[in-house]
Amino acid sequence: MNLILLGPPGCGKGTQAKRLQETHGIVQLSTGDMLREEVGSGSDLGAQAKEIMESGGLVSDDIIISMISKRIDQEDCQAGFILDGFPRTMPQAEALNDMLDEKGLRIDHVLEIEVDDSAVVKRITGRYTCDDCGVGYHDEFKTPAVDGVCDGCGGTSFSRRADDNEETVRERLNAYNQQTAPISEYYRAKGALAGVDGMAAIDDVSNQLNEIVGSNRG
Ligand code: AMP
């Protein structure tokens, strides 16, 4: 089963993609995570992407499309994948169509997590993750049981994304509204889009998503 997860920054795509990955045995493909790995590794691609990401803009379509195409060819994607953060522009959506045709693959569900813009800024600027196990927390909405100690692994080191500050979040929302929001209309017009209420509690959002993809559950 192959899925696309759409929705603005901070809508919970990453959290829900991880849950879908566990429940359905399919792989989360987050272009944001892939780019952050490139930045961390100090590659040429990472150096190109770093500044754009920190300003809240979008990395070039060519780079993203070739990165995703190579990733989908890997063995672990055979059982299925969840596209998280891709496609983000109309040229990316069109390239994805062609790419899937060439590979003999198709998307089973396009899922959109709907949230209010005002909630997004608050959600993103308060979030941080455990450096050891990657579990996510929030200053207000989800704090560890013991202050400064990860509930999952006991780790004591946490990080915030460089682009999770208010100014950059507003730019990311602009980029979303201008370049990514039209993609929802594109899939809606094809009759392929299903929306879920992203303002609900995390478990409720997961239930809504599982209800839609449930019949394909592996
Ligand atoms: P994310 O982790 O999805 O919020 O992505 C973080 C940043 O990576 C974005 O603000 C963009 O700068 C870049 N990025 C991630 N995915 C894409 C994409 N599909 N197209 C262009 N830029 C992307």
Tell me the per-residue pLDDT of 149-159, one tens digit each, with 9 for 90 and over. Answer: 999 999 999 99
**Distance (Å, rounded) from C-alpha 128 to C-alpha 134?**
9
**Distance (Å, rounded) from C-alpha 209 to C-alpha 195?**
9
Neighbours of 77 (CB within 10 A): 16
User: How close is the Cα of 158 to the center of ligand 1, in Å?
Assistant: 22
Tell me the per-residue pLDDT of 67-93, one tens digit each, with 9 for 90 and over. Answer: 999 999 999 999 999 999 999 999 999
User: How close is the Cα of 69 to the center of ligand 1, in Å?
Assistant: 16
Question: Is the pTM value of this prediction over 0.85?
Answer: yes
Give, using CA atoms, the residue closest to atom 14 of ligand 1.
32
Residue 215: band (very low, low, confident or very high) from pLDDT cuts 50, 70, 90: low
Which residues have CB under 6 Å of ligand 1?
9, 31-32, 35, 52-53, 56-59, 64, 85-86, 88, 92, 163, 172
Q: Out of 13, 18, 31, 61, give the residue to mutate to test ligand 1, the one with the largest number of ligand atoms within 8 Å of its CB.
A: 31
